[in-house]
Chain A
Amino acid sequence: MDKRASYTLDHLDQLEAEAMFVIREVAAQFENAAILFSAGKDSILCAHLAAKAFWPSKIPFPLVHIDTGHNFPETIAFRDVAISRLGVRLVVGSVQTSIDEGKAEEETGAGASRNALQSITLLDTIEAHGFDACIGGARRDEEKARAKERFFSHRDEFGQWDPKNQRPELWTLFNGRKKHGENFRVFPLSNWTELDVWQYIKREGLELPSLYFAHERPVFEREGMLLAVTDFLKPTDKETVETRRVRFRTIGDATCTGAVVSDAATVEDIIAEVAAARITERGGRADDRRSEAAMEDRKKQGYF
């Protein structure tokens, strides 16, 4: 038998190799890069792949957390453990500070969220620290505007994305050249799907915040989504709270991240659930539901 025929990689190995290549390219092409770290599974994966890409060196980038102030406490606890284990620097950009300084204005009303304000804080943080590239965990399968993203996504000096004028990206030749004040967002997980992420998490034995796994929690229904009762999010008089067994498919701002009813308590359970799921993971995000092009509009403004 032809020995060469056995030199094939399965899809997780191919995706891993691609992501590690992209992350190393960031280190080589930029002077002051960072990893955007929300303590969600995709950013945990980015940090893990970066650790693999540079071992036995430490990750040569700080982790940046854009903190809406509306966190689940589990997220912050997880973040701090991850930082100390990786031995990297943490940079926190605070939406509350942006509001206090008058750079951002809080939304009001029942559907109010700090989600859109994160862009302001993110751009301020990028500018304050002079980051020339920010690695993010966004994936093309998440959303239709993201399906058109490049691995190396150019941003003008206002942090804006111009989807109609993106640089062609061929083979593995990534063009990170930029003018002063411009910067890049880089997405090593572009070609991963939600199921790939979970299969890889299982294979690598990665730890995740407990929010991803089924647990009992008081929730209420709003616009077809189950939202958790927190200090920042209370039901109106017409909404009823009940305790249900739920988990989160994405971890964002507590005010706009919907839970799903689930008994999936382990990674294996989740893989089975995701494989059978009939709703996209962002289907539970109020921020995407605001209009048909909600993500495209936010991305143009500098969103993750």
Chain B
Amino acid sequence: MKLLRFTTCGSVDDGKSTLIGRLLYDAKSIFEDQLEAIERSSERRGDERVNLALLTDGLRAEREQGITIDVAYRYFATPRRKFIIADTPGHVQYTRNMVTGASSAETALILIDARHGVVEQTCRHAFISSLLGIRHLVVCVNKMDLVDWSEQRYLQITSDFLAFVSRLDVAALTTIPMSALEGDNVVTRSEHMPWYDGPSLLYHLEHLHVGGANNHVDARFPVQWVVRPQSESHPDFRGYAGQVAGGVFKPGDEVLVLPSGFHSRIDKIYVGNREVDEAFPPQSVCLTLTDDVDVSRGDMIVKAGSPPTSSQELDVMLCWFSDRKKLQPGSKYLLRHTTQEVKAVVQEVQFKVDVNTLHRIADDPIVAMNDIARVKLRTAKPLHFDRYARNRVTGSLVLVDPFTNDTVAAAMIR
């Protein structure tokens, strides 16, 4: 069965948790004991009807405040597909969670309250999704029941949204009018909106084609761990374990090891103890080479025909996560990229982006929590990378504060 990972973004009151609750409920992925538990708590809270949002708001503080504060992962399957949902909060102060949820997603659901239309955070969600390389957006115009199922209202909202999104790199856009509360167009087609002839949300998610998330062209294998059993049965075995980050590797392929520059050939490829005849993303495999070359964690095995960029200078779009510290020119961090960790310094903050208008802010080099900025970094030794738009694995990195060990930023290489 195929797997689809998607993220959901919407503001506190757009009904995002209700939508997910509805999707799970109508797809029969909510179990009786879960339903009983939320029925009990809905009753205790005095809610008028069973509050499906309580399914995803798992933490005590979330239930108390009626908001989602952290990424929650949800799972469901239909006979056609298995789904992983990263349910992320809409509040400004949780932009970092939205970025987190979007980093592993192939498509994003953006919720719009039909009464309020396209608001600042709708734009922010669309911008962040496109920044994180999500090229399929699904816009859920929710709460249609509260605008009398008005086609005119729906068309106004979709046209406002299209006007904004035309400035972003989005390949495919689908808009669906719905009422998550009533279940209209979530799993089953609505009877209230005969003017809409598109699919329900679930049907769309089941049939969406998202083949492009992995790069199958440029062969990339960041070495994660060197397997050297030195046992009686395998005295001389030397294998390189890792997850294929791009391209296709086959026994016999000529490869280049970075940074050493050694050339060799792939001898064998294993998944566990099973020999396979090719490896492609995102498989976790173990490679052996025909030559005894020096390879260790952090090195990258590639094919010589399409090598990655090797440089100590990085030009990135960065999202800052920390509320305790700010980023500015001269700040130093530990940078994690594939299986490497190196020291890095901020050379220049070129501009910050107003995520609501997409305007550049050029005169403020201090990057604070939830800011998105174009930044130049310099690393202590060369990294081997691709543009994020070309490869999400070799084009992404995080910054770690060397004093607190917190992950303080995520960045996409330009």
A contact set with B: CB distance below 8 Å: 4-5, 7-11, 13-14, 16-18, 20-21, 24-25, 27-28, 51-58, 140-141, 143-148, 163-164, 166-173, 175, 177-179, 190-191, 193, 195-196, 277-280, 283, 292-293, 296
Contact = CB atoms under 8 A, between A and B. Distances in A.
Interface in B309-335: 321, 334
Interface string B367-383: 00000000000000000
Given A173-B398, A191-B73, A296-B60, A58 B243 contact: no
Nearest to A293: B60
A49 B231 CA distance: 20
B294 to A, nearest CB: 17
Given A169-B100, A292-B63, A11 B3 contact: yes
B2 A177 contact: no
Contacts, number: 177
6 contacts: A10-B1, A25-B224, A58-B229, A147-B58, A173-B337, A177-B405
B1 A11 contact: yes
Nearest 4 interchain pairs by C-beta: A144-B58, A52-B272, A283-B33, A20-B284
Nearest to A193: B75
Contacts of A196: 82
Given A141-B75, A170-B103, A292-B41, 8 more contacts: A56-B227, A141-B74, A144-B56, A171-B396, A173-B397, A278-B32, A283-B31, A292-B63
Interface in B1-46: 1-3, 31-34, 37, 41
Given A11-B1, A28-B224, A171-B396, A16 B282 contact: no
A17 B70 contact: no
B65 to A, nearest CB: 12
B59 A296 contact: yes
B286 interface: yes
A292 B37 contact: yes
Contact of A170 (B99, B272, B282, B283): B99
B233 A56 contact: yes
B123 interface: no
Interface string B254-285: 00000000000000001111000000111110
Given A190-B73, A296-B59, A27 B225 contact: yes
Contact of A175 (B99, B396, B405): B405
